[in-house]
Amino acid sequence: MATLWDKGGAFNSKAESFTVGKDRELDLRLAKWDVTGSKAHAAMLKKIGLLSTEETAKLSDALDEILNRIEKGEFRLENDVEDIHSQVELLLTEKLGDIGKKIHSGRSRNDQVALDLKLFFKDECQKTRDEVLALFNLLARLSAKYKNVLMPGYTHYQIAMPSSFGLWLGAYAESLADDMIMLEAAYRIADQNPLGSAAGYGNSFPLDRKLTTELLGFSALSFNSIAAQMGRGKTERAIAAAIGQIAGTLNKLAQDCCLFSCPNFSFISFADELTTGSSIMPHKKNPDVWEIIRGNCNIISSCYSQTAMLTANLPHGYHRDYQLLKEIIFPALEKTHDCLQMACLMLSNMKVNTEIFKNPLYKPLFTVEEVNSRVIAGEPFRQAYKAVGKEVAEGTFDFPKERMNVESLHHTHIGSIGNLTLKEIKKKMRRSLF
């Protein structure tokens, strides 16, 4: 197998297969970023005199050809090539001879892969940001649309107080705004250039790290060369924490939708084409999409623990353990994209039940409203509480239907069913965007 570290000796084939693992498969996702990084590195080598203008132009053209193949889906790792870095350098050498062999001057595979991952993670954060924002905007629109439609609120799985579809949907919008804060923090950690740290201790070439930082669109450097290498694991943990927060929000939303679409509740429903049936029960409409979202979100949430355990107890410097992080974080990112997109699809096709309160089951939801009305009329709270509780126990509690609406309930404080503060929630999201 072609390796960048080949010095002429043979390596045991079983050990080679074991250490390479799934890297060849996963590295294809880094191909674009490896070429992008190599172009910036070549430009920097020209500036410090290690490449001529002609050599740099030839390398840039050859790298553009490789990038074009990547974008067309025609790029592959040859069977005897270890990883993406080896493949790109091999292609450059095959095309340009000794010029291709110069591309690795001043860098190690350690800072090369660290760079590829940082660029990849920045792109993934931006894609996730856009998907979160799309779901946020949908939830905000639905919250406004259904702001005056009451729904039962629950605690301990017991009917509690009147809520509304506007309040429920707006809650998930605001939760995503909080999640965006975490995602923005992860992006800032990824948005630091490690190129030039080499194997973790720099080198004797007068590398212009500020130039590559500018060329690659990073907002900052990982200044200390050891700290740059310590970014492996730290960046993945930050990404895992951020998508774990998003997954937590989606998991709860999915569980709500599974529960509320159950016929025992019938608060919401989804079209036949978005539910599945049973092989023996003709009436079934199973919320499989939400269940798969719920399950995948639990897997995504476990990603942080896996990355934290994998990177625990390692001293500074590079260790091959870091390679395994890709097997954890890459699939988790894919699942995050899928779940966000499917949540949008499902909510875009959600039907809301506007007749829930015709069911007398929900009359006890209004006990607090009745207690508060009596307190406003001058009755002490505890006395009113006991009196209404007695009426419920005796089955005599009643609440007029004409008051069972958002306007009549007079919930006016910030964040209540009569004051959803969607403008403020949107401002919170805007402040978190990057």
Q: What is the CATH number of the domain that holds 221?
A: 1.20.200.10
284 and 158 fall within a common domain: yes
Encode pLDDT of 389-429 as tens digits: 999 999 999 999 999 999 999 899 999 999 999 999 999 99
Of 71, 101, 131, which closes a domain?
101
209 and 336 fall within a common domain: yes
31 and 136 fall within a common domain: no
255 and 334 fall within a common domain: yes
82 and 126 fall within a common domain: no
* Residue 7 is assigned to a structural domain of this protein: no
**What's the confidence (pLDDT) of residue 8?**
60
38 and 127 fall within a common domain: no
- Cα 333 → chain centroid: 6
147 and 290 fall within a common domain: yes
Measure the CA–CA gap between 71 and 347, rounded to whole angstroms: 33
Whether 283 sits among the annotated catalytic residues: the reply is no
Best CA proximity match to 193, nearest among 119, 107, 105: 119
Alpha-helical segments (H) within 324-421: 325-348, 367-376, 381-394, 406-409
Q: Which of the residues 156, 279, 283, 413 is marked catalytic?
A: 156
* Residue 412 is assigned to a structural domain of this protein: no
Sign of the dihedral defined by the CA atoms of residues 8, 12, 18, 21, in that order: positive
Name the domain count of the chain. 2
153 and 58 fall within a common domain: no
What CATH number has the domain bearing residue 21? 1.10.275.10
Measure the CA–CA gap between 197 and 223, rounded to whole angstroms: 8
* Residue 218 is assigned to a structural domain of this protein: yes
* Residue 64 is assigned to a structural domain of this protein: yes
Measure the CA–CA gap between 185 and 176, rounded to whole angstroms: 14
pTM for the model stands at 0.93
* Residue 6 is assigned to a structural domain of this protein: no
Of 57, 73, 101, which closes a domain?
101
Q: What are phi and psi of 277, to 5 degrees?
A: -110, -170
Whether 278 sits among the annotated catalytic residues: the reply is yes
Encode pLDDT of 143-164 as tens digits: 999 999 999 999 999 999 999 9
204 and 134 fall within a common domain: yes
290 and 351 fall within a common domain: yes
Block means of pLDDT (10 residues each) for the chain, length 434 residues?
A: 58 72 83 98 98 98 97 91 90 96 95 97 98 98 98 96 98 98 98 97 96 98 96 97 98 98 96 88 91 98 97 93 95 98 98 94 93 95 96 94 92 96 98 96
Best CA proximity match to 117, nearest among 236, 211, 237, 227: 236
311 close to 325: Cβ distance less than 8 angstroms: yes
Range of the domain at 214: 109-358
126 and 77 fall within a common domain: no
Of 308, 334, 358, which closes a domain?
358
* Residue 258 is assigned to a structural domain of this protein: yes
* Residue 419 is assigned to a structural domain of this protein: no
19 close to 324: Cβ distance less than 8 angstroms: no
Q: Which of the residues 52, 278, 348, 408 is marked catalytic?
A: 278
278 and 326 fall within a common domain: yes
* Residue 11 is assigned to a structural domain of this protein: no
